[in-house]
């Protein structure tokens, strides 16, 4: 092979028939990567039809589909030769599309439901077709600007000032990681002072914070789990006590992580009080609002999030409360310089990358360089639907949760958790006999097997609860009525059996 390439330098393919033939063969193969218009149209039609069929079946089908063993097939999983789109779609239909949680089904009330609005699929399609480079302004000025403008829009909605910078990430976990790293840099936590640099959180803080602390090299920071109240919210007086105790022990309080909507119960920590303490004590105040921060779009719910805009850093998950498909998180840092300082780097091979006037590139605020043009999947839904339907949907989910809480509270066979701060209710059945944890675990399984709705469970201080998290954009009153019918009915059957 190297002999052939040596020849290429001195002779054109025309003058070297061997090379000309080899190139022709390889080009014929490579050209299959660029299908012509007629094929593109045929494929688009087939993929669109697959999506339509999926949607109609999913809407009529169970909220949870059981795993099935892979069917016996002679088709190789991947081969060297051209494949057939219909066969590929059939594979998805059989093995992927209907197994596990139907995330965007109205009856999906598990974990924190994700979205999947149709508009976002079109955004993803356009992002993939154009593949504009959203990492640096120089490479894709329009793409980078669109993402910057989108972050500015979200920051303004959430009450953050113009100094804010952010990053469109793949999800909440990575967004939280970026915030923790920005906090580490801002608080100057180094190996020399790590054992003295204290982090405050609660037992209800999402586990991705613990993961982020480890990844960020902060596993050895002393961690204080602040006591929570009967609504599962951080107690600010206890936070203040812990900080005072740590200071008198010669430690260095650095970072407090509050939740705007915990995953277990949907509780909003008292953000204003925590902001006061953080300001007085000079702590970095991070809010994990992956689930709840977006409820600030709802006029009705916004007052409950008072103090949100006082955070130094905030995480929002558009693939939850903006109903986008998985792959969209956001981190915002109020002093944008701090995010820049945490992530800005340059390589020699980037010497042509000039900063456009006044514009800092998205990759300067991110651990990523080449990145998916994520902005399109968020911008297009907002553009096409307008913001009002998102506000309406969030207010609706909040009201549905209040309704579910009230109705289930009227059933004395159930113990129902606190009135929901957001759109999440915890509850458990109180069986007449036997262990209540065992019973509620069985109840979870039976609801899953029934399939009409899907809920998830949790254990808080050793007590098993079922959860109803209302955040699928397709969950409306009839779905909640269904849950109110199905859960007591299945519990009753289980108790009688």
* Element holding 127 (H helix, E strand): helix 118-130
Q: Closer to ligand PLP by CB, 179 or 491: give it.
A: 179
Interacting residue with ligand PLP among 171, 236, 325, 375 (CB under 6 A): 171
Interacting residue with ligand PLP among 64, 160, 284, 291 (CB under 6 A): 291
Restricted to residues 145-164, the positions that interact with ligand PLP (CB under 6 A) are: none
- Give yes or no for a contact between 100 and 67, defined as CB atoms under 8 angstroms apart: yes
- Six-digit token string for 124: 């993803």
- Number of alpha carbons in the 13 Å side-chain half-sphere of residue 130: 16
Q: Closer to ligand PLP by CB, 135 or 325: give it.
A: 325
* Element holding 236 (H helix, E strand): helix 236-248
Tell the residue number behind the tokens 């190297």, with chain if given: 2
Residues 6+ apart with CB under 8 A from 224: 198, 199, 200, 201, 242, 246
Task: Tell me the closest approach of the beta carbon of residue 366 to ligand PLP, in angstroms.
Answer: 16
Interacting residue with ligand PLP among 89, 112, 234, 293 (CB under 6 A): 112
- Six-digit token string for 69: 């063993």
Interacting residue with ligand PLP among 102, 108, 148, 173 (CB under 6 A): 173
325 binds ligand PLP (CB under 6 A): no
Q: What is the DSSP letter of 419?
A: P
Interacting residue with ligand PLP among 155, 208, 267, 468 (CB under 6 A): 208
SS3 284: strand
Q: Closer to ligand PLP by CB, 262 or 309: give it.
A: 262
Task: Tell me the closest approach of the beta carbon of residue 238 to ligand PLP, in angstroms.
Answer: 21
- Give yes or no for a contact between 418 and 230, defined as CB atoms under 8 angstroms apart: yes
Q: Are strands 313-316 and 329-333 parallel, antiparallel or unpaired?
A: antiparallel
Q: Closer to ligand PLP by CB, 177 or 490: give it.
A: 177
263 binds ligand PLP (CB under 6 A): yes
Q: How many residues bind ligand PLP (CB under 6 A)?
A: 14
* Minimal CB distance residue for ligand PLP: 172
- Give yes or no for a contact between 439 and 429, defined as CB atoms under 8 angstroms apart: yes
Q: How far apart are CA 52 and CA 179, in angstroms?
A: 39
329 binds ligand PLP (CB under 6 A): yes
Q: Which stretch binds ligand PLP (CB under 6 A): 95-103, 165-173, 182-190, 364-372?
A: 165-173
Give the residues lining the site for ligand PLP (CB under 6 A): 112, 171-173, 206, 208, 259, 261, 263, 288, 290-291, 317, 329
């Amino acid at each position: 092979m190297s002999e052939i390439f040596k020849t290429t330098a001195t002779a054109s393919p025309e003058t070297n028939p061997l090379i000309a033939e080899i190139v022709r063969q390889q080009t014929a193969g490579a050209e299959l990567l660029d299908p012509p218009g007629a094929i593109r149209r045929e494929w688009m039609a087939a993929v669109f039809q697959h999506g339509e069929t999926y949607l109609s079946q999913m809407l009529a089908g169970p909220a949870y589909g059981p795993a099935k063993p892979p069917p016996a097939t002679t088709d190789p999983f991947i081969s060297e030769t051209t494949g057939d789109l219909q066969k590929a779609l059939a594979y998805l239909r059989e093995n992927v599309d209907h197994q596990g949680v139907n995330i965007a089904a109205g009856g999906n009330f598990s974990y924190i439901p994700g979205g999947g609005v149709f508009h976002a699929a079109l955004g993803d399609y356009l992002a993939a077709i154009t593949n504009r480079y959203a990492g640096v302004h120089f490479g894709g000025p329009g793409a980078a600007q669109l993402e910057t403008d989108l972050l500015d829009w979200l920051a303004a909605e959430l009450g953050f000032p113009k100094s804010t910078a952010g990053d469109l990430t793949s999800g909440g976990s990575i967004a939280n990681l970026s915030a923790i790293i920005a906090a580490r840099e801002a608080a100057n936590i180094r190996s020399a002072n790590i054992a003295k640099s204290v982090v405050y959180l609660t037992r209800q803080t999402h586990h991705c914070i613990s993961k982020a602390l480890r990844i960020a090299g902060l596993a050895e920071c002393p961690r204080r789990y602040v006591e929570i109240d009967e609504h599962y919210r951080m107690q600010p007086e206890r936070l203040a006590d812990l900080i005072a105790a740590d200071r008198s022990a010669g430690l260095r309080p650095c970072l407090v992580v509050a939740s705007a909507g915990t995953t277990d119960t949907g509780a909003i920590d008292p953000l204003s009080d925590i902001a006061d303490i953080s300001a007085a004590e000079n702590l970095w105040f991070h809010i994990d609002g992956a689930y709840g921060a977006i409820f600030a779009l709802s006029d009705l719910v916004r007052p409950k999030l008072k103090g949100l805009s006082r955070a130094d850093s905030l995480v929002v998950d558009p693939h939850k409360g903006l109903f986008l498909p998985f792959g969209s998180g956001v981190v915002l840092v109020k002093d944008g310089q701090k995010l820049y300082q945490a992530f800005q780097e340059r390589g020699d091979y980037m010497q042509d990358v000039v900063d456009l006037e006044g514009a800092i590139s998205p990759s300067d605020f991110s651990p990523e360089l080449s990145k998916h043009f994520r902005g399109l999947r968020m911008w297009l839904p907002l553009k096409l639907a307008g913001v009002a339907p998102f506000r309406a949907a969030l207010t609706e989910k909040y009201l549905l949760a209040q309704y579910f809480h009230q109705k289930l509270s009227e059933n004395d066979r159930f113990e129902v958790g606190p009135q929901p701060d957001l759109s999440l209710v915890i509850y458990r059945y109180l069986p007449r006999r036997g262990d209540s944890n065992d019973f509620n675990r069985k109840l979870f399984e039976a609801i899953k097997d029934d399939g009409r709705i899907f809920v998830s469970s949790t254990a808080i201080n050793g007590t098993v609860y079922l959860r109803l998290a209302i955040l699928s954009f397709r969950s409306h009153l009839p779905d909640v009525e269904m849950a109110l019918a199905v859960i007591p009915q299945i519990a009753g059957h289980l108790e009688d059996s």
